[in-house]
Structure 1
Amino acid sequence: MRIQRLRLKNGYKRFHDLTIDLGPTPARIVVLVGPNGCGKSSVLDGIMYHQQLYQAVGSVHVNDASYHSMDSARNIEHNDIEITFAGGGNFSDARNSRQQSGKPNTVFSFRSPYRYNTYVKIHEVRAMPPIKENSYGAGYAGALDSKMEENYRRLQGMVNRYTQDNDVKPSEARSKIIGELNQSIKRCLDLEIVDVGDVESGSGTLYFSKYDQKNKFEFNVLSAGEKEVIDILLDLFLRKSDFNDSVFLIDEPELHINTSIQGRLLNEIDALVGDDCQIWLTTHSIGFLRRLQSEMRNKCQIIQFDPALKLASEPQNLKPMKGSAAAWRELFKVALDDLSELVSPKTIIYCEGRDAPSKSGEERGMDAKAFNTIFADTHPDVLFISSGGNTELDQRSQIAIAILGKVFQNVEILVFKDRDMISGRIADESDRQTYLKHNAANHRVMKRFELENYLYDKDVLKAYCNAQDLIFDESQYDAFVVDITNQNLKDETGRIKKICGISTSINGEVFKLNLASHLTEGMSAFAELADCVFSRK
Structure 2
Amino acid sequence: MRIKKLQLKNGYKRFHDLTIDLGDDPARIVALVGPNGCGKSSVLDGLLFHAGAYGQVGAGSRRDNTYHSMMGLPLSHADIDIEFTTGKYDAVRALRQPTGRENTIFSFRSPYRYNSKLKIKETKSVPEIWRNSYGAGDASSLDAKMEDNYRRLYGAYNRYRDDNDLKPSEAKAKIIGDLNASIKKCLDLEISSIGNVEGDQGTLYFKKTDHPKDFEFNVLSSGEKEVVDLLLDLYLRKDDYSETIFLIDEPELHINTAIQGNLLVEIERLVGPECQIWLTTHSIGFLRKLQTTMRDKCQIIQFRPEFNLASEAHTLKPVTVGAGTWRDIFAIALDDLAHLVSPSTIIYCEGRAESGPGGQERGMDAQVFNNIFANSYPDVLFTSSGGNTEPDQRSTIAMAVLSKVFPTVEIWVLKDRDMASGKVTDENDRQIYLRTNSNNHRVLRRWEIENYLYDKAVLKNYCECEGIEFDESRYDAFVTDIFDQDLKSDTARIKKICGIKGSINNDVFKVELSRYVKPNMTVYRELEDCIFARK
Question: With structure 2 as the length reference, what TM-score do the two structures score?
Answer: 0.64
Q: Does 1:68 align with 2:62?
A: no
Give the equivalent residue in structure 2 for 1:363: none
Q: Does 1:143 align with 2:141?
A: yes
Distance (whole Å) between structure 2 residues aligned to residue 57 and residue 300 of structure 1: 29
- Once the 2 structures are TM-superposed, how far is the Cα of residue 117 of structure 1 from its aligned partner? 2.8
- After TM superposition, the structure 1 = structure 2 runs for residues 210-225 of structure 1, keeping only pairs within 5 Å, are 210-225=208-223
Give the equivalent residue in structure 2 for 1:429: none
- Once the 2 structures are TM-superposed, how far is the Cα of residue 56 of structure 1 from its aligned partner? 6.4
**In the superposition, relative to structure 1, how do residues 63 and 162 fare at CA in structure 2: closer, same or farther (>3 Å)?**
same
Asked whether the 8 Å contact 2:49–2:59 carries over to 1, the reply is no
Does the residue aligned with 1:280 lie in a helix, a strand or coil? Answer: strand
Asked whether the 8 Å contact 2:58–2:132 carries over to 1, the reply is no
Deviation by residue 1:5-41 (Cα, 9 ceiling, x = unmatched): 0000011001110000000100000000000000000
Give the equivalent residue in structure 2 for 1:86: 85
- Once the 2 structures are TM-superposed, how far is the Cα of residue 167 of structure 1 from its aligned partner? 3.1
- Once the 2 structures are TM-superposed, how far is the Cα of residue 328 of structure 1 from its aligned partner? 1.5
**In the superposition, relative to structure 1, how do residues 92 and 6 fare at CA in structure 2: closer, same or farther (>3 Å)?**
same
Q: Which moved more, 1:335-344 or 1:314-323?
A: 335-344
Give the equivalent residue in structure 2 for 1:185: 183
Deviation by residue 1:175-220 (Cα, 9 ceiling, x = unmatched): 1011111001111111111100001110111001111112111111
**In the superposition, relative to structure 1, how do residues 202 and 398 fare at CA in structure 2: closer, same or farther (>3 Å)?**
same
- After TM superposition, the structure 1 = structure 2 runs for residues 23-172 of structure 1, keeping only pairs within 5 Å, are 23-55=23-55, 61=61, 64-72=64-72, 74-87=73-86, 89-172=87-170
Give the equivalent residue in structure 1 for 2:234: 236
Deviation by residue 1:33-88 (Cα, 9 ceiling, x = unmatched): 0000000000000001100010065878467110001221x32111100000014x
Distance (whole Å) between structure 1 residues aligned to residue 130 and residue 15 of structure 2: 31
Deviation by residue 1:304-349 (Cα, 9 ceiling, x = unmatched): 00011110111000000012212121000001113336779xxxxx
**In the superposition, relative to structure 1, how do residues 188 and 9 fare at CA in structure 2: closer, same or farther (>3 Å)?**
same
Asked whether the 8 Å contact 2:234–2:270 carries over to 1, the reply is yes
Q: Which moved more, 1:259-268 or 1:94-103?
A: 94-103
Distance (whole Å) between structure 2 residues aligned to residue 324 and residue 208 of structure 1: 41
| Equivalent position amino acid for 2:9 in 1 | K
| Equivalent position amino acid for 1:225 in 2 | G
- After TM superposition, the structure 1 = structure 2 runs for residues 330-409 of structure 1, keeping only pairs within 5 Å, are 330-340=328-338, 398-400=396-398
| Equivalent position amino acid for 1:227 in 2 | K
Report percent identity of matched pairs.
Answer: 64
| Equivalent position amino acid for 1:310 in 2 | N
**In the superposition, relative to structure 1, how do residues 9 and 223 fare at CA in structure 2: closer, same or farther (>3 Å)?**
same
- Once the 2 structures are TM-superposed, how far is the Cα of residue 399 of structure 1 from its aligned partner? 5.0
Distance (whole Å) between structure 2 residues aligned to residue 61 and residue 82 of structure 1: 17
Does the residue aligned with 2:306 lie in a helix, a strand or coil? Answer: coil
Deviation by residue 1:120-174 (Cα, 9 ceiling, x = unmatched): 0111111110000101110000111111111111110111121233332333211
| Count of residue pairs the alignment pairs up | 356
Alpha carbon RMSD of aligned pairs, Å? Answer: 2.3
Distance (whole Å) between structure 1 residues aligned to residue 96 and residue 13 of structure 2: 29
**In the superposition, relative to structure 1, how do residues 168 and 314 fare at CA in structure 2: closer, same or farther (>3 Å)?**
same
Deviation by residue 1:86-120 (Cα, 9 ceiling, x = unmatched): 14x11111111111221110000000014123210
Distance (whole Å) between structure 2 residues aligned to residue 114 and residue 194 of structure 1: 24
Q: Does 1:290 align with 2:250?
A: no
Distance (whole Å) between structure 1 residues aligned to residue 56 and residue 325 of structure 2: 41
Largest Rg, 1 or 2: 1
Distance (whole Å) between structure 2 residues aligned to residue 338 and residue 395 of structure 1: 27
**In the superposition, relative to structure 1, how do residues 191 and 305 fare at CA in structure 2: closer, same or farther (>3 Å)?**
same
- Once the 2 structures are TM-superposed, how far is the Cα of residue 288 of structure 1 from its aligned partner? 0.3
Deviation by residue 1:472-515 (Cα, 9 ceiling, x = unmatched): xxxxxxxxxxxxxxxxxxxxxxxxxxxxxxxxxxxxxxxxxxxx
Deviation by residue 1:510-529 (Cα, 9 ceiling, x = unmatched): xxxxxxxxxxxxxxxxxxxx
Q: Does 1:279 align with 2:309?
A: no
| Equivalent position amino acid for 2:321 in 1 | G
Asked whether the 8 Å contact 1:49–1:62 carries over to 2, the reply is no
**In the superposition, relative to structure 1, how do residues 261 and 56 fare at CA in structure 2: closer, same or farther (>3 Å)?**
closer
| Equivalent position amino acid for 2:211 in 1 | Q
Asked whether the 8 Å contact 1:159–1:173 carries over to 2, the reply is yes
Distance (whole Å) between structure 2 residues aligned to residue 397 and residue 143 of structure 1: 52
Q: Which moved more, 1:48-57 or 1:33-42?
A: 48-57
Distance (whole Å) between structure 2 residues aligned to residue 190 and residue 326 of structure 1: 36
**In the superposition, relative to structure 1, how do residues 83 and 131 fare at CA in structure 2: closer, same or farther (>3 Å)?**
same
Does the residue aligned with 1:92 lie in a helix, a strand or coil? Answer: helix
**In the superposition, relative to structure 1, how do residues 315 and 404 fare at CA in structure 2: closer, same or farther (>3 Å)?**
farther
Give the equivalent residue in structure 2 for 1:377: none
Asked whether the 8 Å contact 1:2–1:85 carries over to 2, the reply is yes
**In the superposition, relative to structure 1, how do residues 182 and 109 fare at CA in structure 2: closer, same or farther (>3 Å)?**
same
Distance (whole Å) between structure 1 residues aligned to residue 62 and residue 261 of structure 2: 36
Give the equivalent residue in structure 1 for 2:247: 249
Question: With structure 1 as the length reference, what TM-score do the two structures score?
Answer: 0.63
Asked whether the 8 Å contact 2:56–2:103 carries over to 1, the reply is no
Asked whether the 8 Å contact 1:114–1:143 carries over to 2, the reply is no
Does the residue aligned with 2:54 lie in a helix, a strand or coil? Answer: helix
**In the superposition, relative to structure 1, how do residues 58 and 178 fare at CA in structure 2: closer, same or farther (>3 Å)?**
closer
Asked whether the 8 Å contact 2:17–2:313 carries over to 1, the reply is yes
Distance (whole Å) between structure 2 residues aligned to residue 181 and residue 154 of structure 1: 14
Does the residue aligned with 1:100 lie in a helix, a strand or coil? Answer: helix
| Equivalent position amino acid for 1:335 in 2 | A
- Once the 2 structures are TM-superposed, how far is the Cα of residue 401 of structure 1 from its aligned partner? 5.4
Asked whether the 8 Å contact 1:18–1:317 carries over to 2, the reply is yes
Does the residue aligned with 1:97 lie in a helix, a strand or coil? Answer: helix
Give the gaps of 5 or more residues in structure 2.
343-391, 407-535
**In the superposition, relative to structure 1, how do residues 184 and 56 fare at CA in structure 2: closer, same or farther (>3 Å)?**
closer
- After TM superposition, the structure 1 = structure 2 runs for residues 453-472 of structure 1, keeping only pairs within 5 Å, are none
Asked whether the 8 Å contact 1:53–1:62 carries over to 2, the reply is no
Distance (whole Å) between structure 2 residues aligned to residue 210 and residue 324 of structure 1: 39
**In the superposition, relative to structure 1, how do residues 232 and 59 fare at CA in structure 2: closer, same or farther (>3 Å)?**
closer
| Equivalent position amino acid for 2:116 in 1 | T
Asked whether the 8 Å contact 2:331–2:338 carries over to 1, the reply is yes
Asked whether the 8 Å contact 2:101–2:131 carries over to 1, the reply is yes
Asked whether the 8 Å contact 1:29–1:301 carries over to 2, the reply is yes
**In the superposition, relative to structure 1, how do residues 90 and 395 fare at CA in structure 2: closer, same or farther (>3 Å)?**
closer
Deviation by residue 1:357-400 (Cα, 9 ceiling, x = unmatched): xxxxxxxxxxxxxxxxxxxxxxxxxxxxxxxxxxxxx9998252
